[in-house]
Amino acid sequence: MVWKVKGLAQGKTRRVTKSRPRKASGKGVRRTTKKKDTEPSLLKYEIIGIVLLCCGIFMTVGIVGIDTGSAGHSIDGILSYIFGIGRIVFTLSMVILGLKYIILRKAWPLTKNWLAGTVLFVLFLGLIHLLFIPQGAEFMPAMLRVGGGAAGAAVASLLRSFLGEFGAVLVVVALGIVTLLVWKKWSISRPVAIVSDKASEEVSRVSDKAVEGLQEASRSMQQWHEHHHIFDLEKEEQEEQAEAVGTARTDRDVPVAEAEPVPALESREEDSLLHGPRVDFTSEKRDGLLENEECIPDLTEELDISPVSAAPAVLPPEGRQDDDYDDGLPDTEKQQEEGQPMEQPVRDVLQEELADLKPVEIDAQSTAVDVAPQGHSAVPVAKGENTYRLPPVSLLKPGKPLAEGLSEEARQNAVILQETLKSFNIEAKVTNASQGPSVTRYELEPAAGVRVSRIVGLADDIALNLAATQVFIEAPIPGKAAVGIEVPNKTRTGVNLRDVLDTDEFKNAASGVPVSLGKDIAGNPVIADLTKMPHLLVAGTTGSGKSVCINTFIASILFKQRPEDVKLVLIDPKVVELSVYNGIPHLMTPVVTDPKKAANALRWAVREMDDRYKRFSQGFARDIKSFNEKYPDEAMPYVVIIIDEMADLMMAASSDVEDSICRLAQKARACGMHLVLATQRPSVDVITGLIKANIPSRIAFRVSSQTDSRTILDMGGAEKLIGNGDMFYFPTGAPKPIRVQGAFISDAEIEQLVTFIKNQNTTEPKYDESIQQSAGESSGDTAGFFEDELMPQAIDMVLETGQASSSMLQRRFRVGFTRAARMIDTMEAMGIVGPNEGNKKPREIIMSPAEVQAKFFHKDT
């Protein structure tokens, strides 16, 4: 609507338009909206920071060892696989980044700082892998966890393949330095220049001080010369005045000749003229005094004592010389030096003291023998007419001592072992480790709820990660709430026999027959007593250490026991193992090498056992120890029967050998007879059930299969031994076997030992030849063949039928197999029938009835 308004002054009209309402422009609204949208955008960074902070703390806590559940274990496993021990750096970086997001509330773009930090982190992981992980094992799961992870393994493997070990380390270090220089814009020359500038400033400062000091010293020297010149002039004036005064005094007092001091030598000569000849020291002492007399100052000059020329001479009392040279010796020694006879009372006292001394008899041969250790006296001890010296352990070579503490290899294996179990979600902690000569045992303490069977089932995986040939798991260790994992050492330390014989455990062993076995996992000596075993079964494959163990047994007895205390019966079907001991007085018979004679020796042992029990009953004694205490004049020695190869005897004469061994194993302990049986084939046909049941103590070296291990130990494990003396010792009464590194004795040391013992005997040793003979041969007539009352009838039956078999005698005479077989063997010993040819062939009848009648029945038998 337009109104026309007439201008009063101008006379014009003006159109006035009615104002309309304006639309809102929207500027103020947009300004308010922008201010409200800013708050959510900043909260976004705080949320991101909180998430990063929580994740970083969660993962860091899991790495430290606090339980974070299955999720934490899974995340830790992934990080361990990627970054290894560098995962802690990754998690702490997440914590720092989260704090920055929360505090600064802004994004952090990928800049050169992030790039440089990442490069340094990867190089750090690669350096860890290069330094601590061996080549070829970079990508093993256990190595990834203790090294630099997959990132470090990739860097290490790539650089090692192109540059080798040293070149790879050099390149990684160089790249790290270059990255730091580029990142921080540092310069290597800058610190060198700073150090050189400071050094030059210090040198100039020190040189200025030195110049000032020289100038000061020159001024001081000049002043000293001037002062010294003045002092010399004053001194000359004082001397001239003193000479003038002294001349006047001497003219007034006494003549100069009387005032001069008398030298010491002239005074002594004057005394000798006054008092006669002087009794001196020995000529050597006096010559020394005269030579050094010029160096002795005159005491009269030092003390300013004026000499007295007219003093009267004082003579010493009669019968005594001048005491000016009293040397402090007793009167008796002085009289001896002077050649005078000793006073009578002193001589009587010395004669009485000499009379109280007892003469000491010294053997002429004792000086040629090395000094024996404590408990092994090398001086002959008389026992009747026999004298015998125990050989000293100095005949043996000492071994290398075990290092104290754990080696670096053992520490690394402990970490790898714990990480390996952790990778299989088994929480266990290595609480202790015992490092022995050849094996290290790690004691694991599983967490609550962890089954021991799970750890036992991972034996192969543990061996793979530890790069070990075999791993033996003892679950649990007897007497401890821990699982033992035994890992072979890469560097083995041998155990010499001297290292065990020279210990207090062996020297102080109580009465009995102690023998040395070796050292256990902890390095402690293992000593066994044959009287407590009382019999021992040894098994192991060729090269496992079985024969060396037998030699250490024999050597231990020779070092500890005298021939009258212990006797040996050695059976060696292999001929070459024990023949070196022939000629020593401990043997009751030469080393038996023939299997037939070995059976005779075992039968003799059975007869000897029966005879001893008869003597025990007559003497009212229960065992050999009580009998020897009651009747020391009729003391019986212990008898140790050692069979080196049991399988050969069982193949040659299984029935006789098994019967004799079973009887000895059942009854021979109380009468002091002990068996040591060794075989390299511990099968059930060699170690039968009867033999195994009566021999409780066992030693197992490495065997070929778990079946053989169960035969000897009643459990598996011997097939996992590493050989060369590594054994399981299962004594009677023990819950589980003990792992021992056997002691070693060389052939040269055995020869030295045997030679030392043989050289003490001037005559040949007396052996009992009846041991290797059969009963009839040993008696010298035919009476021994007919100990069995059925023997004549059995001979007639064999000659009539022309058949010689145990089964026939069992049926005809209704006797057991053992008795029938013994009668057949007796006929073989008599020469009536031939040996068993096997393959179910009948024995050959050698003698005719007439020959048998003429040879064996010409007397009333």
Does the annotation flag 838 for ligand binding? no
CB atoms within 10 A of CB 445: 15
Distance CA 106, CA 536 (A): 81
Are the CB atoms for 702 and 541 separated by under 8 Å?
yes
Distance CA 667, CA 675 (A): 11
Does the annotation flag 818 for ligand binding? no
Distance CA 377, CA 388 (A): 10
Closest CA to 408 of 435, 382, 389: 435
Read off the tokens for 795: 């001979």
Read off the tokens for 222: 């000049």
Does the annotation flag 732 for ligand binding? no
- Distances in Å between the alpha carbon of 539 and those of 241, 670, 683? 113, 25, 10
- Distances in Å between the alpha carbon of 53 and those of 48, 66, 156? 9, 17, 32
Does the annotation flag 544 for ligand binding? yes
Distance CA 248, CA 664 (A): 122
Tokens 């422009």 label which residue?
25
Sign of the Cα torsion 343, 348, 353, 358 reads positive
Indicate the helix (H) or strand (E) that contains 90. helix 87-104
Are the CB atoms for 516 and 501 separated by under 8 Å?
yes
Please give the angle made by the CA atoms of 111, 113 and 114, to the nearest 5 degrees.
Answer: 70
State the DSSP code for 161. Answer: H
Read off the tokens for 844: 């050959």
Distance CA 729, CA 480 (A): 19
Q: What are the helix and strand counts (H, E) for the chain?
A: 30, 17
State the DSSP code for 125. Answer: H
CB atoms within 10 A of CB 332: 14
Query: CB under 8 Å to 581, separation ≥6 — which residues?
Result: 554, 568, 570, 587, 591, 754
Does the annotation flag 542 for ligand binding? yes
Please give the angle made by the CA atoms of 481, 430 and 455, to the nearest 5 degrees.
Answer: 70
Does the annotation flag 545 for ligand binding? yes
Q: Is 477 exposed, middle or buried (0-12, 13-18, 19+ CB in 10 A)?
A: middle
Are the CB atoms for 462 and 471 separated by under 8 Å?
yes
Does the annotation flag 736 for ligand binding? no
Query: CB under 8 Å to 806, separation ≥6 — which residues?
Result: 817, 820, 821, 823, 824
Distance CA 152, CA 171 (A): 14
Read off the tokens for 856: 């064996």
Are the CB atoms for 621 and 627 separated by under 8 Å?
yes
- Distances in Å between the alpha carbon of 515 and those of 232, 373, 396? 93, 17, 16
Distance CA 498, CA 521 (A): 18
CA end-to-end span of the chain, whole Å?
174
Distance CA 472, CA 440 (A): 11
Read off the tokens for 645: 């190869």
Are the CB atoms for 828 and 652 separated by under 8 Å?
no
Q: Where in 535-599 does DSSP place strands (E)? A: 536-539, 566-571
Binding residues for ATP: 540-547
Q: Which residues are annotated as a binding site?
A: 540-547
